[in-house]
Amino acid sequence: MHEKTSVLIDTSTLPLGKELPERGITMLRNILCGLTLLALTTVASAQTPVAPGLYVKAADIAEALEKAAKERPGMAVGRITNSDEYRINLIRRTEAAGAIVHQRGTELHFITEGAGTIVTGGVVIRPADGGQATIEGGLAVRVSKGDAILIPEGTPHWYSSVEGAISYLEVRFNVPVAE
C-alpha cells in the first residue's frame, strides 16, 4: 500500500515580487538560450536535402516544338517534362483533332497563342466508319491567348476548330481522385 507524501515549500524565501539577483538573471538567460538553440537544432536537423526544381530554357522548348511540327504538323508536342505523376508539354495545333478522354489525369491548358474552339463534357461519339470522334452534349467555348481551361480527370475534350493555329501549355497531373 502506498502512502501519500506531502511536500511543503516555504515560499517566504523565494524572491517573489522582488528583483532577482544578477546571478539568477544570468542563469535564466543561459537556460533560455540553451533551449532556443536546442529547438533550432532540432528543426534544422529534421530537414533533408531536396532535389532542385526543373529549369527548361525557352530555346529548348521551341526547338523541341519545331522538331515535332516537322514530324506531325497538325499537332506538334514540345515535351517539357513527363513522369508518372505529371506531364508538361507545349502543344501547337494547326487543325482540329478528334475528341479524347483521359481516364487518369486532370489537365490544365493555358493558351499561349492563337485561338480555337474547345468542347468539354458531354459524351464522346465515335463514328462507325472510323473517322474522328466528336462530343455530343458538351460545352463549346472559343478560347484565345491568356485563357485557361481546367479539364478534370475523365472529362471528354476536343478542339473542334482552330483559327489558323493555337498553342497551349498542357499540364496534366495524375493525382488520384478522392472517393
Residue 2 within a domain: no
Is a pLDDT exceeding 90 seen at residue 122? yes
Which residues contact residue 36 at a Cβ distance below 8 angstroms, ignoring those fewer than 6 apart? none
Tell me: pLDDT of 76 over 70: yes
Computed over every residue of the chain, the mean pLDDT equals 84
User: 42 with 107, same domain?
Assistant: no
Return all residues near 159 (Cβ < 8 A) that are at least 6 apart. Answer: 93, 96, 97, 116, 117, 118, 166
User: Residue 161 in contact with residue 100, Cβ under 8 Å?
Assistant: no
* Residue 11 counted as domain residue: no
Looking at the 3D structure of the chain, how many domains does it have?
2
Residue 179 located in a structural domain: no
- Domain with 82 in it: 58-173
The pLDDT of 138-148, averaged and rounded, is: 97
On whether the CB atoms of residues 173 and 81 are closer than 8 A, the answer is no
Query: Among candidates 48, 75, 55, which has minimal Cα distance to 162?
Result: 75
Identify the residue whose cell numbers are 478528334: 98
Instruction: Say whether pLDDT at 88 is over 70.
Output: yes
Q: Is residue 63 domain-shared with residue 138, that is, in the same domain?
A: yes
Can you give the C-alpha Rg of the chain in angstroms? 32
Residue 101 pLDDT greater than 90, yes or no = yes
Size of the chain, expressed as the number of residues it contains: 179
Is the whole model's pTM more than 0.85, yes or no? Answer: no
81 and 160 assigned to the same domain: yes
